Chain A
Amino acid sequence: MPAKPKATAKAANPEPKATPPDAPPVTVGERSKQRYYQTNPVERRFEEVGFPGLTPAEKKTYTHARLILPVANRQVSLSNKTDREYWKQVTKEGLPCRRLKNNYNWGTDKHGRDISTYRIDELKKRSLSQAKLTALNVLHQQFLLKREAARSKGAKLPQEDIDQEKQRRQEMAVLKRELYGEIPGPLANDPEWDDVIPIPQEESQDALARIAYPDDYAEAVSYLRAVMASEEYSPRCLRLTERVIAMNPGHYTVWLYRFKIVSALKLSITDEIQWLNDVALDHLKNYQIWHHRQLLLDHHYANTLSSDAEAAKQFAKSETDFISKILSKDTKNYHVWSYRQYLITKLDYWSPFELATTQSMIEDDLRNNSAWSHRFFIVFSDPSISTKGSASTEHDPKVPDAIIDREIAYAQEKIKLAPQNQSSWLYLRGVLAKGGRGLDTVGEFASQFFSNLGAEDEEVTSSHALDLMSEVYHKQGDIEKAKLCLKELSEKWDPVREGYWKYRLSELK
């Protein structure tokens, strides 16, 4: 080992006295610079005046300082004897062989700020934080080892240890964020997820429509990818799906995965529905919720409801109650109506109650076409009175006349309240088609909504009546009257559809 040169060794080549003493450094960079000059004699003079401007003594020091470095840094190896001789000389002359490098790179902090611009006290604080983080990390590693040991014995760590670790990770998270801008998400901080290696999404900077994901979301879906890839179905995964759904209820993949978990773990369907109700109320426009519900229904039906008629009825009742609650907030929600129809078919719930609740929705708003459509569904898809697979616009001979009569009367009653409401007219036409009855059977009814056709004092309160009557007149062979209806529609009462009415006219020839 070479003898260490003492910093206090008397130098045979003292620096010129002209150099003024430095002011105390403010920043880390300034301090580095000062230290550099302190350990590199003559360097500042050399920078100022160049080699020729140095005094002979300075020239000697400067040259020696450069010459000794390769040996001091072990770039040149010497024999043992020469080596001893060398260090003797260095010590004797007080030559600067322990030189600091110039322009030391302190790196940057999380904001991209050069650490050399830190004030001295700022750096001190930062170093303290780093030391604290290191200490916490040691404890964290100990925790992992301890847990591993416990696991290998089939044991679990006491809750106290886990709670401490959680607390520790939160402290570490704060420090990491403060020091490096790293934001370890809540899952990375939760020892429960330690065994999962998240799969992050790595995209190039110029990917199309790249979304700047919020950190928590990016973390949660990274864990989601990992557990989906390993096909894990566990309570913690269920909680993870809930976390992702809360942040992005439109994430269809997480819903499909959630259903797999629910069925794999044989979780209570009623609990899941209960949870789903709250989600549905928070996200009225979301449709994945309703498909999930449909999957739950299928599952529940296969396992329980198909063999328990009473339970099925109860379930249908509670479901329709909840659906009604949602529909009262969003009366034309397509996916809710769609689920309602699925439910009725699946559970064979063609009840008078269902007809009554739909009727009250029609009465609340005669123009709620979704409610009219649902009525058509519950009346004409009921398997006890209809033919399976009969198309909606075709005659179904199985439907009893009494039902056709009832529905015609219902539509007519509603048409009278608002003759220009297309929903009720379409319903009337739909019923007639199902019943195999001609439009002419309602000709008299429709004729009350216009008068003096073609005359100066023509009055029309329903364009839909004129539309229907043009077909009735046509069927009755009165082409001229049929044409007149279409002409009046085209020119006066519904001219935005002129092209259509003219097409209908051309078909009359």
Chain B
Amino acid sequence: MAASVEQQQQQQAGPAAPGAQQGASIPSLFMFPPMIRDALETDSSNVQDDTVDEVLPFLTGKEHSQLNAHGIPRLDKERHVRFVKKQLGVLPSMYVGADPSRPWIFYWCLNALSLLGEDLEPYRARLIETVRPIQNKTGGFGGGFGQSSHLATTYAIVLSLALVGGDEAFEVVDRRSMWKWLCQLKQEDGGFQMAVGGEEDVRGAYCASVVISLLNLPLDLSSDSPAYAAGHTSLLSGLGEWVRLCQTYEGGVSANHGVEAHGAYAFCALGCLSIIDSPHRSIRRYMDVPRLISWLSSRQYAPEGGFSGRTNKLVDGCYSHWVGGCWPLIEASLSGPEGPTAGPAGRPLEDTDVDDSLFSRNGLIRYILCCCQDMSKRGGMRDKPSKYSDAYHTCYVLSGLSSAQNKWRLVASRADETLLGDDLWEVLPHTKGEQIFDEDDRIGTIHPVYAIPQHRVDAIRSYFSSKEGF
């Protein structure tokens, strides 16, 4: 089906065009179905069309009572804070499915509260008491008391402890048994299992790198590690090569070798690579960067504005982080260390007012603020308007909003390759181009690799960097 721009625009400018509220200026890009559409219908195109129908009333302001001049509702922080706090309280029995992944709730909620500017001090003692029984003597944390240690829940707990901060929180972790356990998870092919006997995938590579570098664990591999027999001597040896084989023909990254490219795994791969070496070295070394950027970029759809997780799948608020969070790492891999920003007397940071971002920040911000907020009494953030809000989406939608609102730069790369994750990053509000959200709605920032605030990363790293051995 061939269509000219003129024809489309004529159709779209008709009287039946979905009207924005009086005076609000919404680019037509976010008000109408895309310019090029195939006539052939399949299941995938039908659900895609349904999704566009679902989000358009939210994007065009029909579903909102108050909009700013750009046709965007405000971020209702109070409402979302209430939702998150409720998630940290007693959860009804229908949450039994969350029993093996409860530590995630700690991280999602604490990180969301932190992004929304809340004080985490009141949660420190409660968190410490809650996670203590979840740690296993054989190393690592499970989903709950008596559950096997798992890299995902261990990652979530280590990040949660870092979020509340303080020596007492850091001291909860038994580093020696953690190291032993990680040695058990390290596989012959260089990757990590999620649990002893569990699946091996790129989440393991990322979660292990985060835990190792935040806790400053020794890299030596114990001789009873399954990887030791295969000739590995370090926890990280062969890891970059293993991650490399997760890149697919599409350019994206899959859970493990040969599977379909998926947004969440792209973030895990780039996060892992940015820990084992500075992104401009390791991402370039292990990834086909042009194909990767092309794939990441095609995750963003119009009119929705948000990201999808896979080719021909639907937008979902959580990919605001999984895909949106890849951009600072990609930018750092392209530009390398840029040096510190000049002080007030020096050269202005922004040479030009033109937005040179690789993705549409405003498209993403539009999707998040118009479609992902639950404005009912419930509050919280969601996948899309037809879905219920939850702690997971609240955390990652806000994380994505933060990465769209702020700009991270790699200032200086690590002095020595063995200094894991020791790059210097800097964040500033993104100010280039048109700002479509109210300044009050700008939220906190999270480190592009560790996904918690930078000063929290610095605090836990400096606490453990003074440790010799265990």
Specify which chain B residues have a CB less than 8 angstroms from the CB of A228 in the assembled complex.
146
Question: Are A422 and B260 within 8 A (Cβ)?
Answer: no
Q: Kindly specify which of A49-57, A122-130, A162-170, A497-505 makes contact with the partner chain.
A: A497-505
Interface residues on B, range: 35 or more
Pick the contact of B97: A248, A345, A461, A497 (CB < 8 A). Answer: A248
Q: What separation, in Å, do the CA atoms of A492 and B302 have in the docked complex?
A: 12
Q: Kindly specify which of B210-218, B308-316, B439-447 makes contact with the partner chain.
A: B308-316
Residue of B nearest to A294 (CB): B199
Majority-rule SS of B interface residues: loop
- Contacts A207-B130, A209-B105, A427-B249 given; indicate if A256 touches B5 (C-beta within 8 A): no
Q: What separation, in Å, do the CA atoms of A421 and B41 have in the docked complex?
A: 11
- Contacts A341-B259, A417-B40, A420-B37 given; indicate if A256 touches B146 (C-beta within 8 A): no
Pick the contact of B106: A208, A229, A427, A459 (CB < 8 A). Answer: A208
Specify which chain B residues have a CB less than 8 angstroms from the CB of A32 in the assembled complex.
none
Question: Are A492 and B5 within 8 A (Cβ)?
Answer: yes
Contact residues of B between 58 and 103, Cβ < 8 Å to A = 87-93, 95-102
Q: What separation, in Å, do the CA atoms of A458 and B35 have in the docked complex?
A: 13
Q: What separation, in Å, do the CA atoms of A251 and B359 have in the docked complex?
A: 38
Interface residue? B25 (CB, 8 A): no
Question: Are A500 and B261 within 8 A (Cβ)?
Answer: no
Q: What separation, in Å, do the CA atoms of A229 and B146 have in the docked complex?
A: 8
Interface residue? A393 (CB, 8 A): yes
Interface residue? B195 (CB, 8 A): yes
Question: Are A459 and B198 within 8 A (Cβ)?
Answer: no
Interface string of A184-226 (1 = CB under 8 A from B): 0000000000000001010110111111111001000100110
Pick the contact of B288: A201, A376, A380, A393 (CB < 8 A). Answer: A393
Interface residue? B416 (CB, 8 A): no
- What's the least CB distance linking A251 to chain B, in Å? 5
Q: What separation, in Å, do the CA atoms of A494 and B35 have in the docked complex?
A: 8
Specify which chain B residues have a CB less than 8 angstroms from the CB of A496 in the assembled complex.
29, 300-302, 305, 360, 363
Specify which chain A residues have a CB less than 8 angstroms from the CB of B35 in the assembled complex.
492-493
Interface residue? A23 (CB, 8 A): no
Contact residues of A between 216 and 255, Cβ < 8 Å to B = 217, 221, 224-225, 228-229, 247-248, 250-253
Q: What separation, in Å, do the CA atoms of A250 and B144 have in the docked complex?
A: 13
- Contacts A365-B44, A422-B311, A429-B249 given; indicate if A499 touches B358 (C-beta within 8 A): yes
Contact residues of A between 273 and 321, Cβ < 8 Å to B = 291, 294-295
- What's the least CB distance linking A246 to chain B, in Å? 12
Q: What separation, in Å, do the CA atoms of A462 and B34 have in the docked complex?
A: 12
Pick the contact of B251: A208, A253, A341, A393 (CB < 8 A). Answer: A393
Question: Are B249 and A500 within 8 A (Cβ)?
Answer: no
Interface residue? A487 (CB, 8 A): no
Question: Are A208 and B301 within 8 A (Cβ)?
Answer: no
Specify which chain A residues have a CB less than 8 angstroms from the CB of B147 in the assembled complex.
251-253
Contact residues of B between 130 and 166, Cβ < 8 Å to A = 130, 133, 142-148, 150
Residue of B nearest to A345 (CB): B258
Interface residue? B129 (CB, 8 A): yes
Question: Are B126 and A337 within 8 A (Cβ)?
Answer: no
Specify which chain A residues have a CB less than 8 angstroms from the CB of B197 in the assembled complex.
256, 259-260, 295
**A residues neighboring B (CB under 8 Å):** 199, 201, 203-204, 206-214, 217, 221, 224-225, 228-229, 247-248, 250-253, 256, 259-260, 291, 294-295, 331-332, 334, 337-338, 341, 345, 364-370, 373-374, 376-377, 380-381, 389, 391-394, 417-423, 426-427, 429-431, 433-434, 457-463, 467, 492-500, 502-503
Sampled A-B contacts (13; CB under 8 Å): A207-B130, A211-B91, A211-B96, A211-B102, A212-B93, A252-B143, A253-B146, A337-B259, A341-B259, A367-B43, A392-B245, A493-B36, A494-B302
